[in-house]
Amino acid sequence: MNMIIATHNRHKVEEFSRILAPLGVTIQTAELTEAEETGETFRENAYIKAKSACDETGLPCIADDSGLSVDALHGEPGVYSARYAPEGQRKQTVLKKLENVPEAERGAHFTSAICCVFPNGDVLEAEGYCYGRISRECRGTGGFGYDPIFLCTEAGCAGKTFGEATSEEKDAVSHRGKSLRLFAEKLENYLKQK
């Protein structure tokens, strides 16, 4: 099955492709009109993007909205993760705001909400979370976004930032890995019923 992904982020395309390929799903990109993310939750924004892309292409479309929520910042950057600060300054902005915050209060989690909208109006959704804390500095060159400052506390990746983790380690515990696996289960069941 071919599925359009509503993103320009090549890292997300790679992650979706890697996890959904075993189901026979081929992820494709398309030139899409940028949907205005007016939702108040990750789930709402994922639906807005997937629905807009499906309406525009007439094909099944999948979208993800994800971000970092920091306890000491009352959940910021949250749904504004990609717009929290100018490009290239987001990680440093978070680190600066947490400069005097003790280790015990640096808790954070990533959320990934995935939504797939089909041309017939069917909708599949999944959400995943990964817990950790914010490091004191950027560590590692892997991943993207806030990965180098997110110190994972989950088994299999504990003690490493997502910037230091391998793709396999990150996929096993990451918010997107979890939501994609849940989505893959739902998609498999959906396709069996069709």
Contact 66, 42 (CB under 8 A): yes
- Provide the pLDDT for residue 117: 98
What average pLDDT does the chain have? 92
**Could you give the CA distance from residue 190 to residue 168 in angstroms, rounded to a whole number?**
27
Q: Is 171 a catalytic residue?
A: no
Q: Encoding tokens for residue 168?
A: 């396999």
pLDDT tens readout for residues 120-146: 999 999 999 999 999 999 999 988 889
**Could you give the CA distance from residue 73 to residue 62 in angstroms, rounded to a whole number?**
30
Q: Give the neighbor-by-neighbor strand order of the sheet with 61-70.
A: 26-28, 2-5, 61-70, 107-117, 123-134, 150-152
Could you say which architecture CATH assigns to the domain 2-193? Alpha-Beta Complex (3.90)
Mean pLDDT is highest, among 17-21, 35-39, 58-62, 175-179, for 58-62
Say what the pTM is: 0.88
**Could you give the CA distance from residue 61 to residue 71 in angstroms, rounded to a whole number?**
32
For the chain, give every domain's residue range.
2-193
Q: Cis before residue 77, ω within 30 degrees of 0?
A: yes
Give the pLDDT mean for 92-103.
96
Instruction: Compute the C-alpha angle 176/177/178, nearest 5°.
Output: 90
Active-site residue, selected from the candidate residues 55, 64, 65, 171: 65
Does 47 score more than 80 pLDDT? yes
pLDDT tens readout for residues 144-188: 889 999 999 988 888 899 999 988 898 889 898 899 889 999 999
- Provide the pLDDT for residue 95: 97
Does 25 score more than 80 pLDDT? yes
Contact 103, 136 (CB under 8 A): no
Does 82 score more than 90 pLDDT? no
